[in-house]
Amino acid sequence: MKRSRALTIAGSDSGGGAGIQADLKTFTLLGVYGTSVITSVTAQNTQGVFAIHDIPTNVIDQQIEAVLSDIGTDAIKIGMLSSKEIVKVVTEQLKQYKDIPIVLDPVMVAKGGSPLLADDAKEEIKKELFSLATVITPNIPEAEVLTKLTIKTVEDMKKAAEILIELGPQAVLVKGGHLVEEAVDILYDGKHWITFPGKRINTKNTHGTGCTYSSAIAAELAKGKELQKAIKNAKEFIQMAILGADELNIGSGHGPTNHWKYLEEKGLEAWN
Ligand SMILES: Nc1ncnc2c1ncn2[C@@H]1O[C@H](COP(=O)(O)OP(=O)(O)OP(=O)(O)O)[C@@H](O)[C@H]1O
Ligand SMILES: Cc1ncc(CO)c(N)n1
């Protein structure tokens, strides 16, 4: 059977809950053939980040080249890009592939608070990479850093989206996982507002929710879904994964979400 293809350009999480590992699991469970470009290797588990080693930029460049010159891809998810130099090399490569949908998750800090992105890389991402994205998916703290707003409500999330759309992405999805009451996400394409509601689930096991969500959106885009439908399915995927997280009970800190849950609930329909 022919499978759609998705590429993740992100950091490695040795604990398997976030980064490249979460992305490849998500791609597989959603029926998509996954490829990867590793930007950094982190020594990480459910308790924290203990080391970060950036991959040399020429090796990142060659990974992208190796994947795209032979295998190709139907969508790209971008996660951790820890330095300005890494942002530059990824931008230069992706400028050549303007027709491939790109989901850009502007990852800045891990759940425990460890920074995953240098300050000057933030500016470079805003200036150079945002305009290549089909959708950018900041969480609330990331949207605050990018817009310098304080975000406490859905109205604040909308104000942030209005600022971020001006930086050139086709759409902005501000994620409300950090809101107190509900986990509602807001999509804005410069004209329309779409709300993706979500019940807040009370669990400490939310390591990698952002990575899993953005890679689920990329997988759905790879299968040919429109952006809105891709996000709707991905939201259902992440909600189920968070709901099932306590069953998994991995590690003693912030454990990963349950990537299998959506496939368990939907059966092979998950692959369509
Ligand atoms: N406790 C929760 N209950 C329900 N949904 C949640 C919860 N936490 C996050 N979400 C949802 O999960 C998705 C990911 O959002 P979130 O804001 O957690 O990303 P993130 O902070 O980038 O994650 P991370 O940096 O840990 O990978 C969003 O759809 C958000 O609404
Ligand atoms: C490698 C990696 N990417 C992203 C995140 C954000 O959750 C993380 N903790 N680790």
DSSP 28-80: HHTT-EEEEEEEEEEEE-SS-EEEEEEPPHHHHHHHHHHIIIII--SEEEE--
Q: What average pLDDT score do residues 139-163 get?
A: 96
pLDDT tens-digit readout, 153-205: 999 999 999 999 999 999 999 999 998 889 999 999 999 999 999 999 999 99
**Token reading at 150:** 């304080």
Atom 18, ligand 1: residue with shortest CA distance: 177
Specify the pLDDT at position 95: 96
Atom 16, ligand 1: residue with shortest CA distance: 177
Domain count, the chain: 1
Q: Note whether residue 186 is domain-resident.
A: no
Alpha carbons 147 and 160: distance in angstroms, whole number: 6
Q: Is the CB of 177 under 6 A from ligand 2?
A: no
Range of the domain at 51: 5-130+204-265
Q: Note whether residue 153 is domain-resident.
A: no
Q: What average pLDDT score do residues 247-268 get?
A: 96
pTM as predicted: 0.98
Question: Which atom of ligand 2 is found nearest the CA of 207?
Answer: 7
Complex-level ipTM beyond the 0.95 threshold: yes
What is the percent of the chain where pLDDT is above 70?
100
Average predicted confidence (pLDDT) for the chain: 96
Q: Which segment of 104-108, 113-117, 159-163, 201-205 scores lowest on mean pLDDT? A: 113-117
Specify the pLDDT at position 229: 98
CA 19 – ligand 1 centroid, Å: 14
Specify the pLDDT at position 114: 86
Q: Note whether residue 167 is domain-resident.
A: no
Specify the pLDDT at position 8: 98
Q: Note whether residue 224 is domain-resident.
A: yes
Atom 25, ligand 1: residue with shortest CA distance: 210
Q: Is the pLDDT of residue 111 over 90?
A: no
Q: Pick the ligand that lies closest to the CA of residue 43.
A: 2
How many CB atoms within 10 Å of residue 3?
A: 15
Q: Note whether residue 24 is domain-resident.
A: yes
CA 31 – ligand 1 centroid, Å: 22
Q: What average pLDDT score do residues 40-65 get?
A: 97
Q: Is the CB of 79 under 6 A from ligand 2?
A: yes
Q: DSSP 3-state assignment of 226?
A: coil
Q: What average pLDDT score do residues 196-224 get?
A: 97
Specify the pLDDT at position 113: 84
Q: Which segment of 93-97, 110-114, 131-135, 263-267 scores lowest on mean pLDDT? A: 110-114
- Ligand 1: residues within 6 Å at CB? 18, 111, 139, 175-178, 183, 185, 198, 200-201, 206, 208-211, 213, 235, 238, 242
Q: Note whether residue 136 is domain-resident.
A: no
93: domain CATH number?
3.40.1190.20
Q: Note whether residue 271 is domain-resident.
A: no
CA 1 – ligand 2 centroid, Å: 32
Q: DSSP 3-state assignment of 121?
A: helix
